[in-house]
């Protein structure tokens, strides 16, 4: 922007939804098969789809390969697993009833007897065998990839436990060596199936953001031919440059520009903007958004993988698949737990054999230790939080490119904002009007806007915009004339009216009234631009303009301070401008007159003081600083997700989303810690009990009770992770009110 004297010389010239995972989406282009590789499914060794052996989730896919009838492939891998485990659980529970009723051990324990009939002694063995084959074999299949990769995990432990129980129980049928474990085997399989069903349901729900995004695209589009005819074509057949018709209530089939029509478009699922956005000729529209009541003719600018929706889906998938440091730690802990379980089982076997000789009780202790040690809850603790975290972030317009950056956000000491276009709107606005001589403020603004009517200067546009926002009727000026270096002159209702800066007053030899002089002095102290309205040789009003501070900036900075995070600002503007903005918003530190190429050095300067720094910028001019920062945040990039220098892309230009990012990071980390403490604490407590440490006092855990405790820990971890959804991410927009004083001039020095 220019100073007032420069202003004096400016007048010289159909089907909205489809099933997620529709088969028309090519998996090679980010389709559902690829997208479903979540954080728990992507291995450090690159074997995607077959995960690290923390809880055997990748092995689920192996099991499905041998059971294709278990899911139709249309709802995604997790939905297929959920259906499979649900069905097998209910079938196995029904089959377990006769096993429990005719189990001698359970009859003795509970003091009842079942009706006897010829062959009733075979009820438990036969039904238990079916349960093992139908409900237990999937776990054996899922253990195969772990064994082949020499990375044993939960599936290996589960498989070992049920195999030992089943084999030993069959042996008791042939040889009377002790009590069988058929009822324990049945309940173990039932509880394991229940735990996996709950896990798959939780992961599927948490990963639903991708499915919801995929479902936004319609199957077909209405393409308009050169002769004006309309034909229905598949969305895949659209090409750049095609003209499509979007009817009221229809879904936009591809990114494009409106050529004709006007309507309100719902962009909430893509940008997070809750209110419909008005669209008319020349405005961009996004694939997957929902048209309102008007019809639009849209010229396609991007299709397929090039659309903003596809880019967002790729970012969400990348974020879900990237490993956090906490996830890596959990992976290692699960591996250690396997070897600890084997060691504990071996020690248990040796100790009990020495103490009471090798018998059924020894086998029971070993089986119980192996069951208790399953790192089910540990494997679920971090991946489920990550999935919910990514889903929440995407739903709130935060697109995470780097999972570690999301984790680092909780430790930030200072957030550095680029001023123009981030804290401010990057455009001039009227912030105050002062009048004298009985002139009404609205009258003065309308008259000024009318005289500025033919100018395209930014200050003239700002004045006209202010008058339009107030709904002021503008008088008709005549005899418009630009006065070089001074301002403009026009005739309104027979009176000569001038508009311009201080140089205009000098040229007209007009002395402003004390009120106007004081107003101009205060505005100058705040680095604001002042324009005068002179009517019939008398200055009757002054209008102050500045780069308007965003209404959300003050709330964002206050919230950051509440979180204990400092706020700094980078700007290329003068010292006066920077100081005015910093003082107005309560910013702790500011750097003025900083060239774009020097911004990263300021970030490094803060880091040299031992601070963890986040940089918030537009992702273009601020690329070096975004890269240098501990967390680079590109704000206001809209649906442009190709901001390679940023770790996180904020779709909307709202600085409060930075607060939401930090809150989500902190809340997610707390949930990870809580889940890991619960999972690890459970094993530390349960393994010694299963081994029989308290046996001298009559306290022993049976395999069934061990399985129940293990699955209970899984349920607790899953429920605890779901509470992350209650996190309040940002300040309520209702708390932000428009204050015209939130503005300062954005003029560069000189």
Angstrom distances, CA of residue 280 to CA of 223, 259, 293: 19, 8, 13
Q: What are phi and psi of 366, to 5 degrees?
A: -65, -45
| Rg of the chain on CA atoms, in Å | 34
DSSP 558-580: HHHHHTT-EEEEE-SB-HHHHHH
Collapse the DSSP code of 331 into the 3-class scheme (helix H, G, I; strand E, B; otherwise coil) and give the result: helix
Collapse the DSSP code of 649 into the 3-class scheme (helix H, G, I; strand E, B; otherwise coil) and give the result: strand
DSSP 187-224: HHHHHHHHHHHHHHHHHHHHTHHHHHHHTTS-SEEEEE
Contact indicator for 709, 376 with CB cutoff of 8 Å: no
| Distance, CA of 639 to CA of 634 (rounded, Å) | 11
| Distance, CA of 75 to CA of 715 (rounded, Å) | 24
Q: How many degrees, rounded to 5, is the angle at CA 628 between CA 624 and CA 634?
A: 65
Tokens of 636: 């206001």
Active-site residue, 418 included: yes
Full strand arrangement of the beta sheet holding 255-260: 230-234, 220-224, 243-246, 296-302, 255-260, 284-285
Q: Give the list of residues 6+ apart from residue 431 with CB closer than 8 angstroms, or none.
A: 528, 544, 545, 546, 548, 740, 741, 742, 743
**Catalytic pick among 190, 211, 242, 418:** 418
| Helix H or strand E encompassing 489 | strand 487-492
| Distance, CA of 653 to CA of 642 (rounded, Å) | 16
Q: 3-class secondary structure for 14-82?
A: CCCCCCCCCCCCCHHHCCHHHHCCCCCCCCCCCCCCCCCCCCCHHHHHHHHHCCHHHCCCCCCHHHHHH
Q: Both ends of the chain: CA-CA distance in Å?
A: 10
| Distance, CA of 539 to CA of 508 (rounded, Å) | 10
DSSP 641: -
- Catalytic machinery residues: 418
């Amino acid at each position: 922007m220019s100073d007032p004297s420069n202003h004096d010389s400016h007048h010289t010239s159909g089907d909205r939804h489809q099933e997620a995972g529709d088969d028309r989406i090519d998996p090679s282009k980010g389709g559902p098969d690829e997208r479903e590789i979540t954080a728990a499914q992507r291995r450090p060794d690159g074997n995607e789809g077959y995960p690290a052996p923390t809880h055997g989730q990748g092995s689920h896919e192996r099991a499905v390969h041998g059971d294709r009838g278990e899911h139709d492939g249309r709802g995604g891998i997790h939905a297929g697993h959920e259906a499979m485990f649900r069905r097998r659980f209910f079938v196995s529970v029904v089959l377990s009833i006769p096993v429990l009723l005719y189990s001698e051990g359970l009859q003795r324990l509970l003091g009842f007897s079942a009706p006897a009939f010829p062959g009733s002694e075979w009820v438990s063995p036969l039904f238990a065998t079916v349960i093992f084959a139908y409900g237990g074999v999937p776990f054996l299949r899922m253990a195969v990839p772990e064994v082949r990769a020499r990375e044993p995990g939960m599936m290996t432990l589960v498989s070992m436990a049920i195999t030992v129980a089943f084999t030993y129980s069959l042996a008791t049928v042939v040889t009377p060596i002790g009590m069988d474990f058929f009822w324990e085997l049945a309940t173990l399989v039932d509880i394991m199936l229940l735990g996996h069903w709950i896990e798959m349901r939780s992961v599927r729900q948490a990963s639903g953001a991708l499915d919801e995004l995929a479902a936004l695209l319609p199957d077909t589009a209405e393409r308009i031919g050169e002769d004006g005819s309309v034909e229905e074509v598949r969305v895949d057949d659209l090409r750049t440059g095609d003209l499509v018709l979007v009817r009221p209530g229809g879904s936009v089939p591809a990114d494009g520009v409106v050529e004709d029509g006007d309507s309100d478009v719902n962009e909430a699922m893509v940008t997070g903007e809750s209110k419909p956005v008005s669209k008319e000729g020349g405005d961009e529209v996004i694939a997957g958004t929902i048209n309102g009541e008007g019809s639009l003719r849209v010229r396609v600018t991007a299709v397929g993988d090039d659309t903003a929706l596809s880019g967002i889906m790729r970012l969400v998938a990348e974020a879900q698949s990237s490993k956090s440091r906490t996830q890596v730690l959990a992976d290692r802990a699960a591996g250690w737990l396997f070897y600890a379980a084997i060691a504990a089982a071996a020690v248990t076997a040796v100790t009990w054999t020495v103490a009471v000789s090798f018998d059924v009780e020894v086998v029971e202790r070993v089986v119980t230790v192996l069951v208790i040690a399953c790192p089910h809850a540990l494997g679920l603790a971090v991946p489920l939080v990550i999935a919910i975290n990514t889903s929440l972030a995407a739903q709130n317009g935060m697109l995470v490119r780097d999972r570690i950056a999301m984790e680092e956000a909780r430790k930030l000491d200072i957030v550095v904002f680029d001023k123009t276009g981030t804290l401010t709107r990057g455009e001039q606005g009227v912030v105050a009007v002062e009048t004298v001589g009985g002139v009404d403020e609205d009258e003065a603004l309308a008259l000024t806007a009318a005289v500025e009517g033919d100018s395209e200067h930014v200050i003239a546009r700002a004045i006209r915009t202010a008058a339009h926002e107030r709904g002021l009727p503008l008088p008709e000026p005549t005899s418009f004339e630009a006065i070089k270096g001074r301002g403009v002159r026009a005739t309104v209702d027979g009176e000569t009216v001038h508009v311009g800066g201080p140089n205009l007053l000098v040229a007209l030899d007009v002395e402003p009234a004390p009120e106007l002089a004081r107003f101009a002095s205060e505005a100058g102290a705040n680095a604001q631009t002042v324009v005068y309205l002179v009517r019939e040789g008398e200055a009757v009003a002054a209008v102050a303009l500045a780069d308007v501070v965003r209404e959300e900036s003050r709330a964002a900075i206050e919230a950051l301070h509440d979180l204990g995070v400092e706020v700094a600002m980078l700007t290329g503007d003068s010292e006066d401008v920077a100081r005015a903005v910093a003082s107005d918003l309560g910013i702790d530190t500011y750097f003025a007159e900083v060239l774009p190429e020097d911004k990263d050095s300021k970030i490094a300067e803060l880091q040299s003081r031992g601070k963890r720094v986040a940089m918030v910028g537009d992702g273009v001019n601020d690329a070096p600083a975004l890269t240098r920062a501990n967390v680079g945040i590109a704000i206001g990039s809209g649906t442009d997700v190709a901001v390679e220098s940023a770790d996180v892309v904020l779709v909307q230009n709202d600085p409060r989303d930075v607060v939401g990012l930090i809150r989500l990071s902190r809340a997610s980390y707390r949930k990870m810690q809580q889940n890991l403490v619960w999972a690890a604490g459970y094993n530390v407590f349960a393994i010694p009990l299963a081994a029989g440490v308290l046996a001298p006092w009559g306290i022993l855990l049976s395999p069934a009770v061990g399985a129940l405790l293990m699955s209970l820990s899984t349920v607790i971890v899953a429920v605890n992770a779901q509470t992350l959804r209650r996190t309040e991410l940002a300040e309520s927009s209702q708390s932000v009110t428009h204050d015209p004083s939130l503005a300062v001039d954005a003029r560069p020095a000189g």
